[in-house]
Amino acid sequence: MMNQENNSRRSFLKKSVIATGAFTLGGILPGFSAKSYNNIIGANERLQVSVMGVNSRGGALAQNFAGQSNSVIAHICDVDSRAIAKCKEGISKFQTHIPKEFNDFRRSLESKDIDVLVVAAPDHWHAPAAILASQAGKHVYLEKPCSHNPREGELLIDAVKKYGNVIQMGNQRRSWPNVVKGISEVHNGTIGDVYYAKTWYTNNRPSIGVGKKVAVPNWLDFELWQGPAPRMDFKDNLIHYNWHWFWNWGTGEALNNGTHMVDLARWGLQVDYPTLVSSQGGRYAYKDDWETPDTQVINMEFGRDKLITWEGRSCNAMTTEGSNVGVMFYGSNGALQIDGANSYKVFDVKGKLVREEKDSGIINTTSLSSPSQQLDAIHIQNMFSAIKNGANLNSDILSGHQSTLLVQLGNIALRAGKQLEINPANGHILNDKKTMGNFWSREYAKGWEPKV
Ligand SMILES: NC(=O)c1ccc[n+]([C@@H]2O[C@H](COP(=O)([O-])OP(=O)(O)OC[C@H]3O[C@@H](n4cnc5c(N)ncnc54)[C@H](O)[C@@H]3O)[C@@H](O)[C@H]2O)c1
């Protein structure tokens, strides 16, 4: 539970922030460098942030939080000592405060000064770490996917109910202005009654080869890297990033990149849980250690009215509708396309481009760690508003779970080799105890089972 000291510190923080007017949406004021502005505001008036997992995405998020006028990176946690050093250097461009370093993020959670834990460790860590942080009275910026399996998503919902903290999922497009505008056009009838959303992601990832069992490098605590996951041998083709393609730690391209666009599709179609899910695919492009599919199609039907599809091609970057990533909504009156950027296009029902809303900034949709720092800052500021003023989160944990669950069910259908009937009230698999038993949760390393 949040202790009294933390509560009073937070209410002090709220008052002092209102008094200084320091909380502007988007953070940095024009004419100030991030660093100079941060130095004017006392350290005590800023949210104290701890980041867990800083090699790539976590490093980009650390720089973003450090660049906000109302937060400071107080702790950096990683089991790779090199990643900590790299992150420390990266954030020194944005803040003068020198953060403390932790190998074990649980020691960071013991600190009463920390307000927010950012979780950007691999997927098997997301829910277990977020639950521990919730129990320690911290708010959580939780990278997508919010969970490794559906049960973990349900536990996160229970955690927020029990501990009353804020958890924002890191599907940052929910806060990008033109994406919000595009979705509201879908809701408001610009393309008529909308019944279908096609989503996709393509890349040209190389083979990861066949790994050799080697000694764990001295810069890595592999025991804590595995944490909640049952123990497997260290191999030389696993860390960093390639864990995404092993079921023990990763969740495949479907949850890695599918989550972003399937989330927009679900938001646009205004649906919660599906009724039917099927999926086909496999590791087709190469024969190597990669376990998850590199080519996959998922179909998610909502009653007899609405359909979402996702196509993932990890190893063939041929674009779809001119983009490597996107969602296309189809309605009775036209179509609306949102790609990876902060922009969208409206087409008439014959397929003619009618209008385009463009972003003025440059966004690299193929960037692995951060498509756009300034836009992502809006998502971060939305979380701060929820912490300070109880503002609605743009991606609360129920919504994060519902979107993550869709692609999780896709992976379950693929792995079970069958179409799944789903209970539209709660997303559970119907009439198939075996698949529910095999895939709804996972086995945990002893002592690491998440509990709320
Ligand atoms: N929202 C986005 O656009 C976006 C973009 C990229 C990645 N991500 C998400 O961010 C997460 C990280 O992705 P990545 O590409 O940075 O992966 P990565 O493998 O490059 O980095 C993960 C880091 O976590 C560290 N780590 C592992 N266990 C840890 C522990 N117990 N404590 C502290 N640190 C630990 C690793 O040592 C590594 O430094 C993934 O879940 C991914 O889905 C989101």
109 Cα–ligand 1 center, Å = 18
Which of 79, 108, 124, 239 to mutate for ligand 1's pocket (most ligand atoms within 8 Å of CB)? 79
Residue 450 maps to a domain: no
What is the share, in percent, of the chain residues with pLDDT greater than 70?
88
The domain of 312 spans 178-364+398-439
Q: Is 185 in the pocket of ligand 1 (CB under 6 A)?
A: no
Residue 219 maps to a domain: yes
| Overall number of domains in the chain | 2
Would you say 277 and 300 are in contact if contact means Cβ atoms under 8 Å apart? yes
Q: Is 240 in the pocket of ligand 1 (CB under 6 A)?
A: yes
Atom of ligand 1 nearest to the CA of 58: 16
What mean pLDDT, rounded, does the chain reach? 91
Domain shared by 48 and 70, yes or no = yes
162-217 pLDDT, tens per residue?
A: 999 999 999 999 999 999 999 999 999 999 999 999 999 999 999 999 999 999 99
Q: Is 85 in the pocket of ligand 1 (CB under 6 A)?
A: no
Would you say 51 and 62 are in contact if contact means Cβ atoms under 8 Å apart? yes
Lookup: tokens for 201: 């992601």
Atom of ligand 1 nearest to the CA of 56: 16
Residue 369 maps to a domain: no
Domain shared by 346 and 381, yes or no = no
User: At residue 363, does pLDDT exceed 90?
Assistant: no
User: At residue 43, does pLDDT exceed 60?
Assistant: no
Domain shared by 36 and 134, yes or no = yes
Would you say 170 and 144 are in contact if contact means Cβ atoms under 8 Å apart? yes
Distance, in Å, from the CA atom of 278 to the CA atom of 221, rounded to the nearest integer, reads 38
Residue 446 maps to a domain: no
Distance, in Å, from the CA atom of 127 to the CA atom of 151, rounded to the nearest integer, reads 10
Q: Is 399 in the pocket of ligand 1 (CB under 6 A)?
A: no
Q: What is the CATH number of the domain that holds 238?
A: 3.30.360.10
Atom of ligand 1 nearest to the CA of 227: 31
Identify the residue whose C-alpha is closest to ligand 1 atom 11: 120
Between the CA of residue 210 and those of 181, 237, 244, 289, what are the distances in Å?
45, 7, 15, 5
Paired residues of 298 in beta bridges: 279, 310
Would you say 37 and 69 are in contact if contact means Cβ atoms under 8 Å apart? yes
Distance, in Å, from the CA atom of 46 to the CA atom of 115, rounded to the nearest integer, reads 10
Q: What is the CATH number of the domain that holds 146?
A: 3.40.50.720
Distance, in Å, from the CA atom of 297 to the CA atom of 27, rounded to the nearest integer, reads 39
164 Cα–ligand 1 center, Å = 26
Please list the alpha-helical segments (H only) found in 250-325: 252-253, 259-269
Domain shared by 201 and 215, yes or no = yes
Alpha carbon of residue 400 to chain centroid = 8
- For the segment 79-108, the average pLDDT, to the nearest whole number, is 97
Name 361's Cβ contacts closer than 8 Å, sequence gap at least 6. Answer: 342, 372, 374, 375
Domain shared by 75 and 153, yes or no = yes
Identify the residue whose C-alpha is closest to ligand 1 atom 21: 55
Count how many residues are written for the chain.
Answer: 452
